[in-house]
Chains A and B, each alone.
Chain A
Amino acid sequence: MIEQYLLSGVTTGAIYALVALGFTIIYNASHVINFAQGEFVMIGGMASAAFFEAGIPLPAAVALSIATATLVGVLLEKLAVGPAREASVVTLIIITIGASILLRGLATLVWDKKIHRVPAFSGETPIALGGATLLPQVLWVLGVSAVAVALLAWFFRRTLTGKAILAVSHNRLAARLMGISVRRVLAVSFGLSAALGALAGVLIAPIAFTSWDVGVMLGLKGFAAAILGGLGSSAGAVLGGLALGLIEALGAGYLSSAYKDVFAFLIIVAALVFLPNGLLGRRAAERV
């Protein structure tokens, strides 16, 4: 049994990690917590289901849905978050929550309020593995997430755009003085984090279905994972996501499935009280 719980924990954990990375990228570039992050996940799943139902082959449908979400992410920055850059943290939170309600509303208009399913990428025949069985889609989730995380690490370390994002997150003024276009960095980070969210949405849709309102809980879990790992740390986001997935799966398996979210949030609140900066967060000193 334990293998099965661990496996399902790591699978949902990988999805949470991708969503948490999306939070982290936007937070680093703009110090905004984007509560519309879960809607990118929803767009990923719903758009690929819609494109597929319209007769577009699955790989193209997936690519199109990720491109759609990326565009929405860039527009969110250009039209809503960018113009309000000087506003307080709470005001920005409300703006992104407004955006998430707007996007959910648009999803019900463009698509519908029904539950949709994206076909599994490579069949449904379960694979036996030790004491557990797994769906081929689980391998896709784990494999693609791992590749995405590795690519992201490469992007931030080796490419000029990636380094520009890091520079802006460390010191926006200094970055601007070095000739980095902050507006462009912000647009790229919103697009990138939307793409990651949509990727998570597409990967999980064959296992967990998708509908216009799946973004709320997935967004919250991603936020929780990012905070648990230490807001602003990419490695922390991945670690936080996996930890959250495992806590949920083990809690649901051994204690009570109705209370799995309660365990997850109890542990996060407790962890925060003892480690206010998260598992891998920077210890911040307040400048007076």
Chain B
Amino acid sequence: MASSAGARPSASRTPLLALAILIAALPLALPNNYTYEIAILVGLNAIVCVGLNLLIGYAGQISLGHAGFFGLGAYGSAILAARGGWPASISIPVSLIGVALLAWAIGRPILRLKGHALAMATLGFGIIVSIVLATEDRYTGGPDGMAVPPLASFISGEKTWYWIVAAALIAAVWLARNLIESPRGRALRALHGSEVAAGALGIDAAAHKLSAFVISALFAAAAGALSAHYAGFITPGKASFLHSIELVTMVVFGGMASTFGAVVGAAVLTTLPQLLTVFKEYEMVLLGAVMMLTMIFMPRGLVPTLERAFAAARQISR
């Protein structure tokens, strides 16, 4: 009975260890720089999704604007480093603190909204950010984007970056899982079930929603800053509505309220378009069809559906 991971709330370290081993072993299967590049993109998206999952999957609040935080984290650090000449070791933390403060200031009023109104407000925020980034070309380089200095002069090459992103991802997953298993995490799940019931139990709904929002914004900004310094270039497209949608899709596709689901969702949906480029003009049609079919036949997402299937299979074999 207690075979599924969800049935053991004490959450052993095994899954985290398994992820770490997988990440450590993965380079053996990566033949060239291009595959490393994809692995790095997967890792960066996974960091955003692990954070976004705290907000969507656990606290039950939607955001259609998280690419805005990704873009702000990226541009914040890029502008401080490129225009201000700051070293990345200072520009990244300063940018993240800025994004956290902004997320707090925005989250306070808009998290009072529910459902579709919240979706609209976060979407509006994301669009505002992407327009401002595309228009203020004195600082951001406009729609063409801007060059970003490297993390440090001695850091370059896909292999080095693979380990940097891997470390960041493992830290993100570890933080998220610790948070979920803490009293704060249980409070978030209670909120998802029923805000009124949670309130009756003495849970400060507003404060918990806000903290999930700020943490998820921080994760997105961190991934954004890393991606800017890795690619050496950033465009406003990274903050666009479509990128926000991609991120939410990854979370839902992998499975809401499942940290590893978020990682799997990021992995599948980052790799899929790369594979689909073989089909060139059919790429969009196939991507749309895959999104629709998975959601129609696996509305809970990939990982929870597979977990259930395994649990059922194990019961039958007994």
Contacts and interface: CB of A to CB of B under 8 A. Distances in A.
Contact of B288 (A86, A89, A99): A99
B284 A102 contact: yes
Given A90-B252, A272-B120, A259 B288 contact: no
Interface stretch (A63-71, A103-111, A120-128, A156-164): A103-111
B123 A99 contact: no
Interface stretch (B85-93, B126-134, B163-171, B221-229): B126-134
B241 to A, nearest CB: 7
B155 interface: no
B112 interface: yes
B104 interface: no
Contact of A94 (B132, B282, B284, B295): B295
Binding site secondary structure of chain A: helix
A268 interface: yes
Contacts of A265: 124-125, 127-128
B288 A101 contact: yes
Interface in B110-139: 110, 112-117, 119-121, 123-125, 127-128, 131-132, 135
Contacts of B196: 286, 288
B236 to A, nearest CB: 13
B74 interface: no
Interface in B154-190: none
A100 interface: yes
A78 to B, nearest CB: 12
Interface string B41-60: 00000000000000010000
Given A80-B296, A91-B252, A261-B127, A272 B245 contact: no
Contacts of B252: 90-91, 94
Given A101-B288, A288-B197, A95 B295 contact: yes
Contact of A266 (B128, B288, B295): B128
B297 to A, nearest CB: 9
Contacts of B245: 97
B214 interface: no
A108 B248 CA distance: 25
A102 B288 contact: yes
Interface stretch (A54-62, A184-192, A223-231): A223-231
Interface residues of B, number: 48
Given A94-B253, A105-B285, A89 B115 contact: yes
A109 B125 CA distance: 33
B248 A90 contact: yes
A146 interface: no
Interface string A128-150: 00000000000000000000000
B283 interface: yes
Contacts of A269: 110, 120-121, 124-125
B110 A273 contact: yes
B24 interface: no
A102 B113 contact: no
Interface string B67-86: 00000000000000000000
B231 to A, nearest CB: 24
Contacts of B110: 269, 272-273
A253 interface: no
A100 to B, nearest CB: 7
B150 to A, nearest CB: 32
Given A216-B241, A224-B124, A272-B113, A261 B131 contact: yes
Contact of B292 (A90, A99, A106): A99
Interface string A30-48: 0001000000000000000
Q: Which of B115, B116, B242 gathers most chain A CB within 10 Å? A: B116
25 contacts: A33-B116, A87-B296, A90-B56, A90-B62, A91-B252, A91-B299, A95-B295, A98-B295, A99-B292, A101-B287, A105-B284, A105-B288, A108-B284, A223-B120, A258-B131, A261-B128, A262-B127, A262-B131, A262-B132, A265-B127, A268-B121, A269-B125, A276-B113, A276-B114, A286-B196
Given A105-B282, A265-B128, A286-B195, 11 more contacts: A84-B296, A88-B256, A94-B291, A98-B288, A98-B292, A102-B287, A105-B285, A227-B116, A259-B131, A269-B110, A276-B112
Interface of A: 33, 80, 83-84, 86-95, 97-106, 108-109, 216, 220, 223-224, 227, 231, 258-259, 261-262, 265-266, 268-269, 272-273, 276-278, 286, 288
The 5 nearest A-B residue pairs measured at CB: A102-B288, A105-B284, A98-B291, A101-B288, A105-B285
